[in-house]
Amino acid sequence: MPRTIHLALHPYGVGGPGQHGLWKDSRVAKNASIDINYYIRQAQAAEHALFDALFIVDSQFINATYPAHYLNRLEPLTLLSAVATHTRHIGLVGTASSTYNSPFNLARRFASLDHISGGRAGWNVVTSFDTGTSRNFGLDEHLDYTTRYGRALEFVKVARGLWDSYEDDAFVADVARNVFLDPAKLHELHHEGEHFKVAGPLNLSRSPQGQPVIFQAGVSEEGRDLAAQVAEGIYAPGGTLQQAREYYADIKQRTASYGRDPEHIKIFIHGGPVVAATDEAARRREREIFEEDNDFDRNLALLGRSFGAYDFSAHDLDAPFPDVAHLAEKGGRTGAGKLIERAKSENLTLRQVTELVNEFRNSPFVGSPRTVADTIETWFAAGTFDGINLAFRTTDELDLFVDGVVPILQKRGLFRTEYEADTLRGNLGLPVPANRNTRAPQLVND
């Protein structure tokens, strides 16, 4: 089968990081982020367009400077369970922290979503970016990078073990024999590791897709290695075509080095398409969007998020960028480290670094429907992604992409014209994981 593009939808609500002005748009309901009908409509529109998945991000810490969407939004698994009952095919991927959850409870919640949706659940594994989250869970300090990623790897392994608690034919439900469960096919886990001690078993059977699909967003060395070991889908940073190609090749190579099939990990880059009747109109709209969101005070607060929600407003904006390297270790180390390095090498002020974080950058996926389709095809052929995680400011802009770009991709054989399966794994072309507890059939000698 020829390679085809996978598409996921990431709804913005009233505006997350970098979309500071979205809540002011007259087309956006001020309660969008807590309106389940908003998400249901978005999911149904994406499903009508044959998208692979709806993707919901999350964090568990805020202060008053955080983006509008972060201040008042629904918990992902609750949200996706509601969406599941109003959709049939689209995958449902929720973000949940391996640092601030326990494996048994989270494994049970995702398995429940998998059953509710008929095998469409996915888990985006994060180690938690916001250092302030620790104080919401009785801890004085956020865990360091090495500990967080070691915990995440073990967490996923424990969850997968729990999802295999029952063999597929464990529930015989034989009334005549008065047997509901074959006890030989229920398996305790008995896991004892560096971070977790979990007995099991999970009180929930496997879903039609076997296990929820594991997603991850690996940027740092630790993140890329974690993704290569456990992820089946990756949310990649994007960047330029060359940067995206290098990241794609690196992840696929790392995956192979762990003895995994590189085709069993699907890399999604971020895409914020702007589609209009002409290229010129689309570029004008792209610039308008930037100006709508260009709020210096909000950008300064957003910069602080990479350094553990640090308050940079206490510093002189026109003095050299302050020495805050120690704050990056437990926050967004990779991105923060690059900012520190550039600030030092170019002798930048705090004001300049803040402006740098939000400087205008042309998106590659901007133009008429044909131009956007051409660019997507070029990037796909260049080996930069398996899919795109699409974000649109409004439903109107989602509709422009669906009505204008998707048909062109379909005509070129780059995107499906019908769903291949009823599960997220099936539509992504991923195998159903073998149950580690299923015994091989015994050979019988005649």
DSSP string, 370-386: HHHHHHHHHHHHTTS-S
Pair 377, 414: CB distance under 8 Å: yes
Give residue 445's pLDDT band: very low, low, confident or very high (50, 70, 90): very low
Place of tokens 């997350």: 16
Pairing mode, strands 53-56 and 6-9: parallel
Most confident of 223-227, 241-245, 295-299, 330-334: 241-245
Residues 6+ apart with CB under 8 A from 257: 228
Q: Which two tokens stand for residue 131?
A: 């250092």
Helix (H) or strand (E) holding 290: helix 279-293
Query: What tens digit of pLDDT does each residue of 359-391 get?
Result: 888 899 999 999 999 999 999 999 999 999 999
Residue 441 has pLDDT above 50, yes or no: no
Residue 283 has pLDDT above 90, yes or no: yes
pLDDT for position 7: 98
Whole-angstrom distance, CA of residue 280 vs CA of residue 299:
28
Q: What is the mean pLDDT of the chain?
A: 93
> Phi first, then psi: what are they for 398, rounded to 5°?
-60, -45
Lowest mean pLDDT segment, chosen from 58-67, 173-182, 334-343: 334-343
Residue 393 has pLDDT above 90, yes or no: yes
Average pLDDT, integer, range 334-356: 88
pLDDT for position 327: 79
Q: Name all domains of the chain by residue range, CATH numbers in brackets.
A: 6-279+363-428 (3.20.20.30), 295-357 (no CATH)
pLDDT for position 1: 59
Residue 443 has pLDDT above 70, yes or no: no
Query: What tens digit of pLDDT does each residue of 155-203 get?
Result: 999 999 999 999 999 999 999 999 999 999 999 999 999 999 999 999 9
pLDDT for position 329: 66
Which residue would you say has higher pLDDT here, 338 or 115? 115
Residue 235 has pLDDT above 60, yes or no: yes
Q: Which two tokens stand for residue 432?
A: 């159903």
pTM equals 0.93
Whole-angstrom distance, CA of residue 58 vs CA of residue 23:
18
Distance, CA of 167 to chain centre: 29
Binding residues: 58, 95, 149, 220
pLDDT for position 129: 77
Average pLDDT, integer, range 224-231: 94
Query: What tens digit of pLDDT does each residue of 91-149 get?
Result: 999 999 999 999 999 999 999 999 999 999 999 999 987 888 888 999 888 888 889 99
Residue 412 has pLDDT above 60, yes or no: yes
pLDDT for position 352: 94
Residue 249 has pLDDT above 50, yes or no: yes
pLDDT for position 330: 60
Length of the chain: 446
Average pLDDT, integer, range 317-325: 91
pLDDT for position 332: 66
Residue 229 has pLDDT above 60, yes or no: yes
Binding residues for FMN: 58, 95, 149, 220
Provide the percentage of residues in the chain whose pLDDT is more than 70. Answer: 97
pLDDT for position 118: 98
Residue 252 has pLDDT above 60, yes or no: yes
Residues 6+ apart with CB under 8 A from 339: 303, 306, 321, 353, 356, 357
CA–CA distances in Å: residue 353 to residues 7, 326, 334, 349, 386 = 33, 17, 16, 6, 33
